[in-house]
Amino acid sequence: MPPQLHSEMVEQWSNENVWILVLKAMSYRLECMFYRNLRDLYRSGEDNLRQRAVQKQLNAMLELYSVLDRIMLHDLVGFCPLSM
């Protein structure tokens, strides 16, 4: 990942660099949908694969919540797209 996308490197959050968090949130949101579909696909199949998909989905959800919390903490909600 390029250094520009590391949220840990940002010292001061503003409307100019909020896109880093927006991209991360969108990425985790897509990951949640992917693993939800994968979980449904494995519903009648192998239980081990289904459990892995469930765990990955939960991890992505937690990361998404973390990014959204950071957006709210720094009062950047007004600069984010409504689709988040």
How many domains is the chain built from?
1
Q: Is residue 83 part of a domain?
A: no
Q: Is residue 41 part of a domain?
A: yes
Q: Is residue 32 part of a domain?
A: yes
Residue-wise pLDDT for 37-83, tens only, equals 999 988 877 788 899 999 999 999 999 999 999 999 999 999 998 88
Q: pLDDT value at position 2?
A: 75
Neighbours of 48 (CB within 10 A): 9
Q: Is residue 53 part of a domain?
A: yes
Residue-wise pLDDT for 5-26, tens only, equals 788 788 888 888 999 999 999 9
Residue 39's domain comprises 3-78
Find out whether 53 and 39 touch, Cβ atoms under 8 Å: yes
Find out whether 68 and 10 touch, Cβ atoms under 8 Å: no
Q: Is residue 33 part of a domain?
A: yes
What is the number of H-type helices and E-type strands within the chain? Answer: 2, 0
> Can you give the pTM of this predicted structure?
0.85
How many angstroms separate the CA atoms of 5 and 13, rounded?
13
